[in-house]
Amino acid sequence: MIAPAPAATLAGSTIDTPIGRLGLLAGEAGLVKVTFAHEAFGEVAERLSARLGARLVQRPERLDQVKRQLDEYFTGRRRDFDLKLDLSLIAGFALAVAGRLRAIPYGATLTYGQVALSLGRPGAARAVGRACGANPAPVVVPCHRVVAADGRLGGFGGGLDIKSALLTLEGVTCR
């Protein structure tokens, strides 16, 4: 479920996973942001809070379901996320790409060009790549399932090692 409404409050928490510590930020409408270990979570939370005009609050229970589903994903017990998302950080084509990414099944990949074509924008593979790079909720919105036309990994905000690890977890082999 995508709920593009700005957050009045923002709760944060972290979770240790096989790909490193993930930072999680959620507003009333749902999960807003997922960060990777190399990102300074506290600084991201402060910047995001200011950008959204949201007050940071101590409400870790707001992220309990996100943590549970991520744990299930990383232990092979979950293939799809059923979480409320607040994707107000993206708009336009990037929001359409995020919707398409959520429809890529576990264990499957599409190329950037295939995603563009499926959205009625043939030739917009680079725009899909930029939209994947702007994805505020990686792993949950599975931009890691989008690869280059030649079967190589392409890019990933968490780094190619993490993209490879996520695809391996899902049983996908890439070059």
- Taking residue 117's Cβ as centre, other Cβ atoms within 10 Å add up to 16
Q: Which of 66, 98, 143, 147 is catalytic?
A: 143
Protein fold of 92-169: Arc Repressor Mutant, subunit A (1.10.10)
CA 28 to chain centre: 18
Predicted confidence (pLDDT) per residue in 91-147, tens digit: 999 999 999 999 999 999 999 999 999 999 999 999 999 999 999 999 999 999 999
The percentage of residues in the chain with a pLDDT greater than 70, rounded to a whole number, is 95
76 has a pLDDT exceeding 70: yes
Cα distances from 149 to residues 14, 33, 152, 154, in angstroms, run 34, 28, 7, 9
| DSSP SS3 for 164 | helix
Q: Are 20 and 36 in contact (CB under 8 A)?
A: yes
**pLDDT reported for residue 7:** 58
Say which CATH topology domain 9-74 has.
Double Stranded RNA Binding Domain (3.30.160)
Active-site residue, 143 included: yes
DSSP for 23-81? EEEEETTEEEEEE-TTS-HHHHHHHHHHHHT-EEE--GGGGHHHHHHHHHHHTTS-SS-
pTM of the model: 0.92
Please state whether beta strands 30-35 and 9-17 pair in parallel, antiparallel, or not at all (unpaired). unpaired
Query: Is the separation of the CB atoms in 119 and 127 below 8 Å?
Result: no
| Residue 1 confidence (pLDDT) above 60 | no
Which sequence spans correspond to the domains of the chain? 9-74, 92-169
